[in-house]
Chain A
Amino acid sequence: MLDIIFRRKPVYVRAMDNVSIEVGKGKILGIVGESGSGKTTLGKIVSTIETPTDGKFYFNEEEITRKTIHNARKHISMVFQNPYTSVNPRMKIKQIVSEPLGHFDMEKTKSVISMVGMDYDEIANKEPKELSGGQIQRIAIARSLIKAPDVLVLDEPTSALDESIQAQILDLLLDIQKQSDLTYLFITHNMGVAKYVADDIAVIYAGKLVEYGPVKKVMETPKHPYTQLLIASVPDFEKKELQSPIGDVPSLINIPKGCRFSDRCPRVMDICRQREPEFRDVDGVKVLCWLYG
């Protein structure tokens, strides 16, 4: 079921049931979804931390197996949500940053630390507890850059941070992406953040991609009823009332028959409860919904 292909030039992510997501090199794909939707799992598979139960994963047209996993790891790194738990509290900052290399390389360490806007001499010998959350997230980003990767998987990199620090980290990530022509998989539950960073958006619900397309089209004219309600339930300064789908996200152990959103969908039809829809191309956006035939 989970079948992911990841290639370069252009990069393809084929996520879950026969849809290819095309992420051009140097582009940012925003992956949005609620907890339990499988977005973190997707990120972990792409960064080779987890292997898919079923299906294959390709990178640079090469299938990634246990033997070839190191090839992928040279090119893909990951930044995690909680900066404090993703660094070793007993290590010095310079060790944390150079750790992926396997040895200490002062020049490289210095250059990535300056890339994230920090001063090597000032922090190299400090420990994580001496830095603030925003600073540690910068260090985690520096560490992910030290092996000069092509692809960065960012799993909620700013959701543990205050808003004014989040703003700095987002712009920093965009700068680095532009400078080094990196490809980002940006996983977030924050629609405002996704809108700001992404070129394309993939909406995931209960382990399935339900809508995928250019950021403006998905945000302004969402096609899937789930995407519509997801956007309507996010508070912003334009509306005083929130709308939301009824009920809870289904557990992946007990998935509803037919379309996975059918039991919460306001526009549900008979066929939705019986058969799973297939992807349709609607106005340049891929949608998994019976409303579009």
Chain B
Amino acid sequence: MLEIKNLKVSYKTVNGKTTVLNNFELNMDRGDSIAIVGESGSGKSTLGGAIARLLPPSGEESGEIILNDQNLLSLTEEQMTKIRGTEVFMIFQNPLNSLNPVKTVGFQLSEAAQIKAQRNGTSVAPEEINKIVVDALKSVRLPDPDQIVKRYPHELSGGQVQRVVIAMALILRPKLLIADEPTTALDVTIQAQVINLLKALNKEYGMGIIFITHDLSLAYVISKKIIVMYAGTIMELNESSDLIKHPDHPYTIGLLKSVPTDYKTNTRLFYIKGSPPSFFNLPKGCRYSPRCDKAFGKCHEFEPSLIDVSNGHKVRCWLFE
């Protein structure tokens, strides 16, 4: 359904051009859910923006993003607008960014229902639209949908607005949903509600989900596959339970070990030395080599390629050559 080949994204800055995403590749079938995990500055949000073609004007993309036999990078902005919503739908960390502050929730959801019908080449009666909207709000378990439709986004809580955005996705039924840290601003109990909703969309309608997060345990809960990113490249890709139980890349191992899961003892938490590199000053060889505790001669000289370890399991590390 979605195939990304050789995706490269650079930004023009006052200090020159900097490449924040390099050689990114991805293969996704209908109904897949893939989580993109990385620390801040790993390029994971850039990836989301690149697929939905929502990068800032200074962003430049090259490569191929093929969604249902169509290369998104070759489309004009006008053609892209026709795809957004029904083909690709994006959920942001701050849900208020996705809604119009001066229109009611009901107005915006009705608009989505009309657009869906229009793009399907059908038409819907106004009474029917109201029913679609209320049903969608019910399915995301918002209380009193008849009241919610009259409200403006600022009158709802963060969790409620995020559920309105998901209701919109429910109406539009996109083939691909990109969620960029959609629950970071929410409380854990509300986060659990939103995650369960997204999982239901994925399961019941076969909606493909790309879930961007810095939280490995959240990635594990929501996705079938996990991609670990570091400094703009893929470091490891595997089925989520295999990745959590048998991580291979030293970076993945480090990330997993630094999450506190138990009571304090006299031992210490593991942490990765140093900090992620700046994109202006990337280390020679493997991007992780200066922080890696297993690095050897070659690692500081040449960048490894993404190596196929076993079926569907890829690692960018010289240890697995």
Would B187 and A34 count as touching, CB distance under 8 A? yes
Residues on the A chain within 8 Å of B221, using CB: 235, 239-242
Contacts of B262 in A (CB 8 A): 195-196
Which of the 9-residue segments A73-81, A101-109, A186-194 touches chain B?
A: A186-194
Q: Which chain B residue lies CB-closest to A242?
A: B192
Query: B265 → chain A, closest Cβ, in Å?
Result: 10
From residue A218, how far is it (CB to closest CB) to chain B in Å?
12
B187–A196 contact, CB under 8 A? no
A226-264 CB contacts (< 8 Å) to partner B: 229-230, 232-237, 239-249
Q: Does B191 reach chain A (CB closer than 8 Å)?
A: yes
Contact B260 A167 (CB under 8 A): yes
A164-B272, A244-B190 known; A235 vs B215 contact (CB < 8 Å): yes
State the Cβ distance, A177 to closest chain B Cβ, in Å: 10
Q: Is B22 an interface residue (CB 8 A)?
A: no
| Contact pick for B188, options A163, A164, A189, CB 8 Å | A189
- Which residues B260-280 have CB closer than 8 A to chain A? 260-264, 268-272, 275
A247 in contact with B143 (CB, 8 Å): yes
Chain B window 210-224, contacts with chain A (Cβ cutoff 8 Å), 1 for yes, 0 for no: 000011111011000
- Nearest residue in A to B240 (C-beta to C-beta)? A240
Given contacts A163-B259, A168-B271, A170-B269, contact A237 B188 (CB under 8 A): no
Query: What are the residues of chain A within 8 A of B193 when measuring CB–CB?
Result: 244, 246
- Chain B positions within 8 Å of A132 at CB level: 275
Contact B157 A248 (CB under 8 A): yes
A82 within 8 A of B: no
Contact residue among B192, B241, B260, B268 (Cβ-Cβ distance under 8 Å from A233): B192
Q: Chain A contacts of B61 at CB under 8 A?
A: none
Once the chains bind, are B263 and A216 in contact (CB under 8 Å)?
A: yes
Give how many B residues have a beta carbon under 8 Å from the other chain's beta carbons.
40
- B 132-165 binary contact with A (CB < 8 Å = 1; else 0): 0000000001010000000000000101100000
**Contact, CB under 8 Å: A237 / B261:** yes
Q: A72–B272 Cα gap in the complex (Å)?
A: 38
CB contacts (< 8 Å) of A216 on chain B: these are 263
A165 vs B271: C-alpha distance when bound (angstroms) = 7
CB-based A-B contact count at 8 angstroms: 113
Residue of A nearest to B276 (CB): A162
> Is residue B244 contacting chain A, with contact meaning CB distance below 8 A?
yes
User: Counting CB contacts under 8 A, is A17 at the interface?
Assistant: no
Instruction: Using A162-B39, A163-B39, A244-B196 as known contacts, say yes or no to A192 and B160 having CB atoms under 8 A apart.
Output: no
Q: Tell me if B40 counts as interface (CB < 8 A to partner A).
A: yes
Expressed in whole angstroms, the Cα–Cα distance for A178 and B14 within the complex equals 47
Q: Does A197 contact B (CB under 8 A)?
A: yes
Is B63 an interface position by the 8 A CB rule? no
B285 at the interface (CB under 8 A from A): no
| Residue with the greatest number of chain A CB neighbours at <10 A, chosen from B40, B188, B255, B272 | B188
Residues of A near B143 (CB, < 8 A) are 247
Contact indicator B160/A248 (Cβ below 8 Å):
yes
Kindly identify which residue among A134, A192, A234, A248 contacts B190, using a CB–CB cutoff of 8 Å: A248
Given A163-B214, A235-B220, A230:B188 Cβ within 8 A: yes
**Closest residue of B by beta carbon distance from A162:** B39
**Are the C-beta atoms of A167 and B220 separated by less than 8 Å?**
no
Within the complex, which residue of A167, A189, A241 is in contact with B269, where a contact is CB–CB below 8 Å? Answer: A167
Residue of A nearest to B195 (CB): A242
Q: Are A237 and B214 in contact (CB under 8 A)?
A: no
* A165, B275: Cα distance in complex, Å: 9
Q: Does residue B97 face the partner (Cβ distance < 8 Å to A)?
A: no
Q: Would A134 and B189 be within 8 Å (CB), given that A162-B40, A164-B254, A167-B270 are in contact?
A: no
Q: Are A192 and B260 in contact (CB under 8 A)?
A: yes
Contact of A164 among B218, B241, B271 (CB under 8 A): B271
Q: CA of A246 to CA of B190 in the docked complex: distance in angstroms?
A: 8
- Give the residues in chain A near B269, CB-CB below 8 Å: 167-168, 170-171, 196
Nearest-neighbour CB distance to chain A for B198, whole angstroms, equals 11
Q: Is B258 an interface residue (CB 8 A)?
A: yes
B218 cross-chain contacts in A, Cβ below 8 A: 235
CA distance A260 to B86 in the complex (A): 41
Taken together as a complex, chains A and B put the C-alpha atoms of A35 and B261 apart, in Å, by: 22
Contacts of B216 in A (CB 8 A): 163, 237
Contact of B141 among A196, A241, A246 (CB under 8 A): A246
Q: Tell me the complex Cα distance, A238–B270, Å.
A: 20
Interface of chain A residues 183 through 221 with chain B (CB within 8 A): 189, 191-193, 195-197, 215-216
B residues near A167, Cβ cutoff 8 Å: 258-260, 269-271
In the docked arrangement, what's the CA distance between A243 and B196, Å? 8
Q: Which of A151-184 contact B (CB under 8 A)?
A: 162-168, 170-171, 174
With A168-B271, A235-B195, A248-B159 already in contact, the answer to whether A189 and B187 are too (CB < 8 A) is yes
Residues of chain B contacted by A240 (CB below 8 angstroms): 220-221, 241
The 8 A-B residue pairs whose C-beta atoms are closest, nearest first, are A244-B192, A233-B192, A196-B260, A34-B187, A167-B269, A242-B192, A167-B271, A167-B258
**Which positions in B face A, CB cutoff 8 Å?**
39-40, 141, 143, 157, 159-160, 187-193, 195-196, 214-218, 220-221, 241, 244, 254-255, 258-264, 268-272, 275
10 A/B residue pairs, CB under 8 Å, sorted by A = A34-B188, A162-B39, A162-B214, A165-B271, A233-B189, A241-B221, A242-B192, A242-B195, A246-B141, A249-B190
Given contacts A35-B187, A248-B157, A249-B187, 17 further A-B contacts (CB under 8 A): A34-B189, A163-B259, A166-B260, A167-B259, A167-B271, A170-B260, A170-B269, A174-B264, A195-B260, A196-B261, A196-B262, A233-B192, A235-B218, A236-B261, A237-B244, A237-B261, A240-B220
